[in-house]
Chains A and B, each alone.
Chain A
Amino acid sequence: MVSAPKKVAISRKKRQRISPLLVVIPAAALILALTYALPPFRNYQLATVGAYLCVTAGLTVLTGLNGQLSLGHGALMATGAYTLALMQNRFNLLVAGIVVAVLVTTVVGAVIGLAAARLRGPYLAGLTLAVAVVVPSIASTFDETFNSDQGLTVALEPPPDAITVEQWQAWVCWGAALVTVLLLAYLIRGRFGRDLRAVRDDETAAKLAGIGVARTQVLAFVVSAACAGLAGALFAVLAQSVSPGAFPLTLSLFLLMAIVIGGLGRLVGALIGAVLLVALPSFAQSIAESSGSVRLEGNLALTFFGVVLVVVMLAAPGGLTSLTNLRIRRKSQKGRK
């Protein structure tokens, strides 16, 4: 079972005073302003961060707050992405496509969640891993619909001439991301959030307190699946194409790394994770590029990425968000010993 450091639960109380709206609205204004200031490629990266934020936020609720470990969120994203592609190519109504993508992924998530609620720790990881690697298999078996490895292209209406495609993509992705974060923030502040944590910390105690353990776990899975479906749909919009190769097992693993490195169970951790998912690989590549050798280049980037993961995990076991709370952490550790 996954249990985040207790500190999270304690320090969270203080911050609950601020309404999430007070954060999200200025954030929206800031992003809007940024999309005008940034060049197209930065806008595209910004949009990608938004899309990642949808899934990392959902995943951190599932894994951080509810203690369920999923290696299958890449597959859930693929579900959303393929649904959007099929909807777009038939009806070409983006909003409807996104809504249907979220709904379909929610249903798939509910099915997996029902099985997941019976499983713990590595067994859940094993099952969701099998889900993650089944994507190419499904795409090839039903290739009439999914077109095998080559995948589908996504028909999209070009945005009005006044804005660039990348700017428009940033608006769509961040609009969705901020709504997701807002809803999740309200959700985890309330009773549902308390239930999630109670089930994570001690299932028996939660049961005695009258919390439906299985129900809470399935709901957590459904919520995070919906977020993953949304993110998948956004990725389809960003790439204007979907294919199984874009949703490999490594994607699921990277999502997990992102939320842990960011700070498990915290929405701000999910944000940091989403930023890292975009920034770290391109940063690593630009460092490696100076090596001058193609053979070194890609591998140097991989190594750098790995070193960052290990070093951050050793230096800040609570993730990057925990770094600012070092004093509290030290005290609480002393107390524990």
Chain B
Amino acid sequence: MRRTATVLAVVLLAAGCSSNGTSNSGSSSDTPGVTDTEITVGTHMPLTGPAAAGYSKIAPATKAYFDFVNANGGVNGRKITYKIMDDGYNPSNTQQVVRQMVLQDKVFAILNGLGTPTHTGVLDFLKTNRVPDLFVASGSRSWNQPDKYPGTFGFNPDYTVEGKILGTYVKETYPGKKVCFLGQDDDFGRDSLEGIEKILGSVTAKQSYVTSNPNVGPQIGALKAAACDVVMLATVPGFTALSIGTAAKIGFKPQFVVSNVGSDPTTLTKTLGPAAGLLEGVVAANYLPLANDDANPWIQLYKKVNSDYNGNAEFDNNIVYGMSVGYLFVQSLQAAGKDLTRDSLIAAVEKGGFTGPGLVPVRFSAKDHSGYAGEQLTKLTGGKAAYFGTAYQTDDGDGAVAAYTGTAVAPPQNGIPTAQ
């Protein structure tokens, strides 16, 4: 036991040596993470482990956009430093890294923290410490609780909104057909199904999968047995590919309608490899410019940033997503003005009115903290996705699904938003 005491003392004293107590108050000059020349922002996402596929490209893309902005003078003379922490999609790691960023590294805000189970765990902590929690990377409805979490804002259209839009498409295009559903066994699948059933009523058959069992044979078999004409997937990319591959394997050829979450064509084509032909005609939805749309001015901008600041990483929808997050954040900073504080940033986001790469507006207001308000449908042909029809907007309640008629906005000449 004596050694226990010695070890304890040594360890704790060593820990104590690195103490640096500072206090933070409300005035602008000593807002954490903000100096006259720098703004430090942090994020958490999986860089390792099974969930890292695809997602691990988002934060570097955001960072690349910030580097691009920094090289052009930054925002109000401040350069943005983006701290990316790996949580391996494990909620207890998220706890650690977010606390480290907020308490020790003194970040100004958390931006685009990824994942529902991971980010849910830090909501209360961020609220207690009054840290702006912007543009969470997940379509959970939890981010839109302005009364409970005044500093938290979403980004993705939530899964129910998406479900309603996909449901509307199916209802109009395939009337009287048997519609079935396969979804992930968590809030993603649940909320999606809720949106779909708001429009279509009860579906013919519903199946779920868990990420810990990469065999969807039994589920797809059941859908085949139910003779489904349309199968709606609320799946992550790997499981989209797996489901479509498994269906082909057993000679089951329904129309697939896939959530935006699991529909990145680059990822799907790569995962299916030689069987990528199966993707022909798959319908999905999106709300940002598509990575393979070279004519789109946003894509041209992002590709330039990608080659100059992101080591020319393979360009896909994850990179478009990451850069769009960066663009929206820079817009928010511009709107918050030169006297940047946490309160002024949140006020600026709540004021809303941002226009940017999205096909539909972001909905931010004092009463609404959800992200993009809707989506437009895409169809895959020849390994490339293309938009068709019009964009739709709706809410996660019983509101109607309405066509959005606003026009697309081109990016500013130099690629950097100015205060509006």
Contacts and interface: CB of A to CB of B under 8 A. Distances in A.
Q: Are A and B close enough to touch in the complex, i.e. CB under 8 Å?
A: yes
Interface of A: 15, 18-20, 22-23, 26-27, 30-31, 34, 37-42, 44-46, 48, 133, 136-137, 140, 148-151, 153, 158, 165-166, 181, 185, 235, 238-241, 243-248, 250-251, 267-268, 271-272, 275, 281-282, 285, 294-295, 297-299, 301-302, 321, 324
A267 B4 contact: yes
Of listed B60, B92, B140, residue having the most chain A CB within 10 A: B92
Interface in B33-91: 47-48, 52, 56, 59-60, 63, 84-86, 88-91
B12 A148 contact: no
A22 B12 CA distance: 18
Given A23-B4, A148-B190, A267-B4, A30 B185 contact: no
Contacts of A23: 1-2, 4-5
A41 B120 contact: no
Contacts of A31: 12
Contacts, number: 165
A324 B121 CA distance: 41
A243 B120 contact: yes
A46 B117 contact: no
25 contacts: A23-B2, A26-B5, A30-B8, A38-B19, A41-B104, A42-B16, A42-B19, A45-B15, A151-B91, A153-B123, A153-B124, A238-B95, A241-B121, A243-B91, A248-B90, A268-B3, A272-B7, A281-B93, A294-B63, A294-B84, A295-B47, A297-B84, A298-B52, A299-B48, A321-B3
Interface of B: 1-5, 7-9, 11-12, 15-16, 18-22, 47-48, 52, 56, 59-60, 63, 84-86, 88-93, 95-96, 99-100, 103-104, 116-118, 120-121, 123-125, 128, 140, 142, 185-187, 190, 210, 212
Contacts of A46: 12, 15
Given A23-B4, A42-B16, A294-B56, A243 B86 contact: no
B85 to A, nearest CB: 7
B1 A15 contact: yes
A297 B47 contact: yes
Contact of A39 (B104, B185, B187): B104
Given A26-B5, A41-B99, A245 B117 contact: yes
B128 A282 contact: no
Nearest to B20: A39
Contacts of A153: 120-121, 123-124
Contacts of B140: 150
* In the A-B complex, the 4 residue pairs with the closest CB atoms: A298-B47, A41-B103, A149-B186, A298-B48
A239 B121 contact: yes
A302 B11 contact: no
A215 B190 CA distance: 45
B6 to A, nearest CB: 9
Contacts of A238: 95
A136 B120 contact: no
B92 A235 contact: yes
A44 B128 CA distance: 15
Contacts of A37: 16, 19
A30 B9 contact: yes
Contact of B124 (A38, A42, A241, A302): A241
Contacts of A321: 3
A246 B210 contact: no
A142 B211 CA distance: 17
Given A42-B15, A268-B4, A148 B186 contact: yes
A42 B18 contact: yes
Contacts of A148: 185-187, 190
A181 B8 CA distance: 13
B85 A285 contact: yes
B104 to A, nearest CB: 4
Contacts of B47: 294-295, 297-299
B48 A149 contact: no
Given A23-B1, A321-B3, A41 B100 contact: yes
Nearest to B188: A149
Contacts of A248: 90
Given A23-B4, A150-B186, A275-B11, A246 B92 contact: yes
